[in-house]
Chains A and B, each alone.
Chain A
Amino acid sequence: MKPRLLENKKDFTLKDFFLQWEWLLVVLIMAVFIMNTNLSEYFLDYDNLRDATMGFLDKAFMVLPMVFIILMGDIDISVGSIVALSSVIMGDLYNHGMPMEWAMVVCLAVGALCGWINGLLIVKFKELSAVIVTLATMIIYRGIAYIILEDQASGKFPEWFKFLGWDYVGNIPFILITFAVFAVAFGFLLHKTTFGRRVYAIGNNATASRYSGVQVDRIKIIVFTLAGLMAAVTAIFLTSRMGSTRPNIATGYELEVIAMVVLGGISTAGGKGRMIGAILAVFLIGFLRYGLGLVNVSAQMLLIILGLLLIFSVAIPQLKLRFTTGRKA
């Protein structure tokens, strides 16, 4: 049989290019900017934008590994508790005489350990879903944080520690630079490496991946460990911004992080979505929150808006599907 020659190029159409989810996020961000500019004449001021960014970037570190987790069809709702536990341990060790540098290293280690435990449990007990496992560890990690500090606060950190969350390198916030470095690294890991490709494979078809020699369990454990590690990075920046720590910090962060990832176009069914979408969603929600804060919209109202945005983000692809396939559900 004569071998058929296959074409070398991928079809490229402008329609497909502009029908990408990320463009919708860009439009929404622009809408938020227009709204905010009308609310406050100072909004578009560079200093103002810069400081607004610093206010919401702390939890964005957790969005990066959460993209991987949701891509694999899993979820991790314990990250907020990991922030609290690693932060409390860091504060407590410092208050008991450990140098702050070492306390920070321990903080990162604790976060990574918590994530590793999540991954191990999920891999070893396949009959339990990731929601259940991380629900349990969410309660446990937060519980340990309460045992350590017993409703007390820990603080009086060294002056330089404040720099992390509050200061600038040149005229750019240190936290923004750090986030940019991590975002590029995670984006690269996801889109350019064999590791990222295998994450997508697992999310689309874990069985076929295993049959193709992908080490599914190992990759899951690594990803969950990364999630724990990045929760500890959040813990450091959050603690720096607050100047003290308590066992109840970062409550509800996990939901906001998951909301950002989903709004970013990462399918909860696994296997679909891109890092850039989640990063855009971070800024969309961040600036939306900031703008609503300008006009004193209550925190509860903000949650409602967030919820509506989430439903919207899940519904749009369905509606698009119905539209393109002749109005069949």
Chain B
Amino acid sequence: MSETEYVLELKGITKIFPGVKALDDVYFKLKPGEIHALMGENGAGKSTFIKVITGVHSPEEGEMVLNGRKVQFNHPTDAQKAGIAAIYQHVTCYPDLSVTENIFMGHEKIQRGTNRILWNEMHKEADTLLQQLGAGFSPKTLMGALSVAEQQIVEIAKALSVDAKIIIMDEPTAALTKNESEELYRITERLRDRGTSIIFISHRFEDMYRLASKVTVFRDAKYIGTWNVDEISNSDLIIAMVGREISQLFPKKEAVIGEELLRVEGIGKTGYFADVSFSLRRGEILGLTGLVGAGRTEVCQTLFGIEQYDKGTVIFKGKVLKVKTPREAMRLGIGYLPEDRQKQGLVLQWEIGRNITLPTLSKFANKGIVNSRKELDIAKRLAEKVSVKAKSVFDLVSSLSGGNQQKVVFAKLLTAELDVLILDEPTKGVDVGAKSAIYEMISDLACSGYGIILVSSEMPEIIGMCDRVAVMREGRVTAMLDRQGLTQEAILEASMDDGASAPNTDGKRWAGA
């Protein structure tokens, strides 16, 4: 029927955001009735690629061919009309409406003339779709009462209701248990057998081996290659995803490793992480890595008193640590640089100086009355120490660049007398110049005797900076690597599900995954 072999072909797609090439000359071909896996590290360009296919972004260069015809999508509705639907990891739904209403949102069945909604017809059709997908719930159920897995089935039904020929699934299994994933595999295969083409994005090798016949790999916004799944080995695939060389230089200085500061023994928090153990010594930089949602941030937040762990013990400087608030943690000597500096790290509407002194305000006060002169002195000295680029400490933090904002958050940590610094993605959203300044600062801090936990998803950063690295996957520490054994391949292997690993603890979904 169709003249070409492919339903969808993308040739030489390039997408440029201010200052960044998010996609650089990328190719992709999809056959009818094919499940095609798309793989790559965080930031490899997968998400941007999907947004190009679904019409959210228009590419600067390249062409897109749908069923042999060249197309150009200027709006998501264009893609929808062309039969392309996307299902995301975090289901976007209306929890207080019924399944039927969610399925038909935006294209309700309406009686001509009276504009009356044809509820019976809609419920009937929704029921048919759900039965085709083997769902065991009624279309009249409230969306919010369903599990994430069931909500995804509704999303698939929604795609089918608009007669989608191409369905994109973006990490659909990330929030699912083993059994739920199996169910999703079966549904996906049923769709394939009906002739629907599926682009399947996942970090799990297991998903790819189980479902896909082809795999395409992106790295650093570039197209690396496409293989038949049964013709490529696991290790070749990892090399394709990671590349070999570490291009960036890190100013890691050798620090004197001192006594043990922190020992974490088998701590766990139900539903988030389990059985996490590691230790940290003075002068040491301990990396904590793994995929986003592996539980790294949650572990750090329990050490800082934002959350509480319910199993295991933490020994800090020889004493059992059980902090209930960040204030207690800081008083004992643990500081935390949060992942989201704008929401968690800074008061954006405030001046640089006031931000710096906020954690230790009492130190600049006599009986609760702030000594402005003393406060100003310290703020100025610390802002200069971390070399914030600004006119004065009275500049508003919101006027600074990402890198300079991050330096202010660092300065906040330096006001207190701390022994352990937990740095959660300290270079996220920071330009290259500021990045190397931050690396230098981290290295200096280690040399001056802090014990540092560096949480990061960026492998070159982890490899370039850390003395030891704990890799987490699905809430557990899966590997503890020394500086000698520290390679990208080793980290990636430990952070990804190789298909033979143990099932999730307690069968719970990992929140934040």
Name A's B-contacting residues (CB within 8 A): 1, 3-11, 192-195, 197-198, 201, 204-205, 207-215, 271-272
Contact = CB atoms under 8 A, between A and B. Distances in A.
B370 A192 contact: yes
B392 A213 contact: no
A6 B391 contact: yes
A197 B384 contact: no
A9 to B, nearest CB: 7
Interface stretch (B22-30, B65-73, B74-82, B343-351): B343-351
Contacts of A210: 306, 325-326
B362 A194 contact: yes
Nearest to A204: B347
A193 B365 contact: yes
Nearest to A272: B349
Nearest to B367: A193
A281 to B, nearest CB: 22
Given A3-B384, A10-B392, A209 B370 contact: no
A216 to B, nearest CB: 9
Contacts of B388: 4, 6
A5 B349 contact: no
Contacts of B376: 8
Given A195-B368, A197-B361, A211-B336, A6 B392 contact: yes
Contacts of A5: 384
Nearest to B329: A213
Contacts of B344: 207-208, 211
B384 A6 contact: yes
B383 interface: yes
Interface residues of B, number: 42
B389 interface: yes
B354 interface: yes
Nearest to A202: B347
Contacts of B384: 3-6
B342 to A, nearest CB: 8
B358 interface: yes
B345 to A, nearest CB: 6
Given A7-B392, A192-B370, A208 B345 contact: yes
A221 to B, nearest CB: 14
A8 B376 CA distance: 8
Given A210-B306, A212-B358, 17 more contacts: A1-B440, A3-B384, A6-B384, A7-B392, A8-B380, A10-B392, A11-B394, A205-B343, A205-B347, A207-B344, A208-B343, A208-B346, A210-B325, A211-B336, A213-B360, A215-B325, A272-B349
Nearest to A192: B369
Contacts of B325: 210, 213, 215
A194 B370 contact: yes
Contact of B347 (A7, A8, A192, A201): A201
Given A1-B387, A6-B390, A211-B336, A201 B358 contact: yes
B435 to A, nearest CB: 14
Contacts of B390: 6
Contact of B361 (A11, A194, A205): A194
Given A208-B343, A215-B327, A6 B383 contact: yes
17 contacts: A4-B388, A6-B383, A6-B392, A8-B376, A8-B392, A9-B392, A11-B392, A193-B365, A193-B369, A201-B347, A201-B358, A204-B348, A205-B347, A208-B344, A209-B347, A212-B412, A272-B349
Nearest to A188: B369
Contact of B326 (A7, A10, A198, A212): A212
B447 interface: no
Interface in B321-341: 325-327, 330-331, 336, 338
Contacts of A11: 392, 394
Contacts of A209: 347, 358
A4 B385 CA distance: 9
A201 B347 CA distance: 7
Given A6-B383, A7-B391, A213 B370 contact: no
Nearest to A10: B394
B393 A6 contact: yes
Nearest to B328: A213
Nearest 6 CB-CB pairings of A with B: A213-B327, A7-B392, A10-B394, A212-B359, A3-B384, A212-B358
A1 B444 CA distance: 12
Contacts of A192: 369-370
Interface in B289-331: 306, 325-327, 330-331
Contact of A6 (B336, B347, B362, B380): B380
A207 B387 contact: no
B255 interface: no
Contacts of A205: 343, 346-348
